[in-house]
Amino acid sequence: MTTPTFCFRTWAELTRDELYALMALRQEVFVVEQRCPYLDADGYDPQASHLWSTGEGGDRPVAYCRIFRAGVKYPEASIGRVASAGAARRTGAGRALMVEALRRMDAAAGGTAAVRISAQSYLQRFYEGFGFRVVSAPYLEDDIPHVEMLRGG
């Protein structure tokens, strides 16, 4: 994998084209691939910072997540809507995205940030590789098995 180029924007900084591309990636992964009809426009985008990496051409996002400060979704800071384009899977794009997200969160916290996520259960080992541990019983979210995971705190 080549070194990814990351983009980081608040809601106010996002362009219409960027938002469109990010929502298209989210819907491609969660709605189409995972066959999960859900309300993507959940009202949290304006409260999030948006982090993504682009592919070779630099125009389309290949990996994406939302980052929330503590108190927005959970008492701790959180990461959500983590998505990788199908063509970017198994290239390290998702791992690089998580490293960058946690690096930014730790820098903002002045140390290791406490971060809570709602993870699809099949990705539990992936997130454990970043220091997350399961802190809830399994539950269904949009008919997909999930667990809450916490890093730090």
Q: Which domains, from first to last, does the chain contain? A: 5-112 (3.40.630.30)
Contact of 69 with 105, CB cutoff 8 Å = no
pLDDT digits (tens, 9 = 90+) for 70-127: 999 999 999 999 999 988 899 899 999 999 999 999 999 999 999 999 999 999 999 9
What count of Cα atoms within 13 Å lies in the side-chain half-sphere of residue 141? 13
The arithmetic mean of pLDDT across residues 45-63, rounded, is 90
- Average pLDDT across the chain, whole number: 94
The arithmetic mean of pLDDT across residues 32-43, rounded, is 90
Q: Examine the pLDDT at 1 and tell me if it is beyond 70.
A: no
If residue 103 lies in a helix (H) or strand (E), which one and from where to where? helix 93-109
Going by C-alpha positions, the residue among 116, 5, 135 that lies closest to residue 61 is 5
pLDDT of the residue at 54: 92
Contact of 84 with 62, CB cutoff 8 Å = yes
